[in-house]
A = this chain, B = another copy of it.
Amino acid sequence: MSGIKKKQPLAQRPSLTMADLAELAGVSKITVSRALSESTLVNAETRERIQALARKHGYKLNVSARNLRLRRSHTVAVIVEMKPSSGRTMWDPYPLSLLGGITQELTSAGYSVLLTTRQDAGNAAVQAADGLILLGQGARQDAVRLYDKLGLPMVVWGAAGQGGDNHTVVGSDNRQGGISAAERFLSIGRRHPVFIGNPDHPEMAQRLFGFVDELAGHGIKPLLLRRADFTLESGVDAVRSLSERKVRFDAIFACSDLLAMGAIRALVELGQTVPNDVSVIGYDDTPLGASFLPPLSTVRQNWQEGGVLLARKVLALIHGQPVQSQMMATTLVVRST
């Protein structure tokens, strides 16, 4: 019966439904539903039989139907900020292993990952998601508030305390990253450190605070060199400007490996040696930093793990469990600079 339709108004590859399986097995479709969802309400033998039948005929669950009935989508929307022209976009190497971690964790929990950009987050599919993960500079106040209105479980990647702390934040412990750079400089007797980066960015600001606070404990006040671009040229330029201003410095903490490498290049040009005259620490532990000459010391963040954490938190929220913000430890990788 059910196999033959009078009409097929919405032509499509005809796929097996539970009703079809039910007919094949000689049971009702509810029994099939129960058998396939491992319910104990159905006899073990029948269950096996139905499952075997499903496998044999390549039965595929209709996700839309289930989602409609259950009023959930089993989907988490990941909203990334896309600023294609910026020096540090979400499409940069690192934040992307975040996506990797997220995907791994969510899919293995049976959830789907819906990738979207900020622009079209008004999207019906996004609103239908069970939860939200915000990545990138999108973690700014306005954006966060915007998505908050959707009333969905939401987790944000970024700096702690960012955005009214009404929502869960996961990020790497930028403050601690700054502290460990400071500790390193102190331990090797540097007295005139410089910070290169953009304190307007909440994550960088945390690095700066950690750096400054730790140094302050030893009576040292670092110089802040504001640089918005995270390019190598920007690093070169920063150091040149220091030299022109005849600033005395013996250590540089840069907010990215690229900046750090630029700084080193400029130092070499100016006849300074690294690390003898000036010690340099970068941020992110890019593969290039390790191969740089001299090999770059840097602060490493574990993005992949961050992604996993983000995913776990949304899932917890979705299941109604209490969740707290969390900052992940960073590691200072000491190489030759």
Interface residue ranges, A against B (CB under 8 Å): 10, 12-13, 60-65, 67-68, 70-75, 78, 80, 82, 84, 91-93, 96-97, 99-100, 103-104, 107-108, 112-117, 119-120, 123-125, 127-128, 151, 231-233, 258, 262, 265, 287-288, 291, 293, 304
Question: Least Cβ distance of A51 to chain B in Å?
Answer: 15
- Are the CB atoms of B73 and A63 closer together than 8 Å? yes
Q: Name the B residues within 8 Å of A93 (CB-CB).
A: 91-93, 96
Report the minimum CB–CB distance from A113 to chain B (whole Å): 4
A151 vs B151: C-alpha distance when bound (angstroms): 37
Contact between A107 and B103, CB atoms less than 8 A apart: no
* B120 and A108 contact, CB distance less than 8 A: yes
Alpha-carbon distance A116/B80, docked complex (angstroms): 16
A127 to B304, CA, bound (A): 27
B123/A107 in contact, CB under 8 A? yes
Q: Hey, which chain B residues are within 8 Å of A232, CB to CB? A: 287-288, 291
Chain B residues whose C-beta falls within 8 Å of the C-beta of A100 in the assembled complex: 82, 84, 91
Given A71-B10, A115-B78: A91 and B96 within 8 A (CB)? Answer: yes
A177 CB to nearest chain B CB (Å): 22
Residues of B within 8 A of A103 (CB): 80, 82, 115-117
Whole-angstrom CA separation of A72 from B62 in the bound complex: 10
Chain A to chain B contacts (Cβ below 8 Å), 22 pairs: A60-B127, A62-B68, A63-B125, A63-B128, A64-B64, A64-B73, A64-B128, A68-B68, A74-B125, A75-B125, A84-B97, A84-B100, A91-B93, A91-B100, A92-B93, A93-B93, A103-B115, A104-B117, A112-B116, A113-B116, A258-B288, A262-B291
Q: A100-B84, A107-B117 are in contact. Are A71 and B291 (CB under 8 A)?
A: no
Knowing that A91-B97, A233-B291 touch, tell me 19 more A-B residue pairs with CB under 8 angstroms.
A10-B71, A12-B72, A60-B128, A62-B68, A63-B128, A65-B68, A78-B115, A80-B103, A82-B100, A91-B99, A96-B96, A103-B115, A103-B116, A107-B123, A112-B116, A114-B114, A232-B287, A232-B288, A232-B291
B96, A112: Cβ atoms closer than 8 Å: no
Contact across chains for A114 and B112 when beta carbons are under 8 A apart: yes
* Given A13-B151, A62-B68, also A107-B124 (CB < 8 A): no
Which residues of chain B are near A74, meaning CB under 8 Å?
125
Asked if B12 and A124 sit within 8 Å, CB to CB, the answer is no
If A10-B70, A68-B68 touch, whether A120 touches B92 (CB-CB below 8 Å) is: no
From residue A147, how far is it (CB to closest CB) to chain B in Å? 14
Cα distance, A123 to B91, chains bound together (Å): 26
The answer to whether B107 and A116 touch across the interface, beta carbons within 8 angstroms, is: yes
Q: Which residues of B contact A84 (CB under 8 A)?
A: 97, 100, 304
Instruction: Flag if A61 contacts B124 (CB, 8 Å).
Output: yes
Residues of chain B with a CB closer than 8 A to A151's CB: 13
- Whole-angstrom distance from the CB of A70 to the nearest CB of chain B? 7
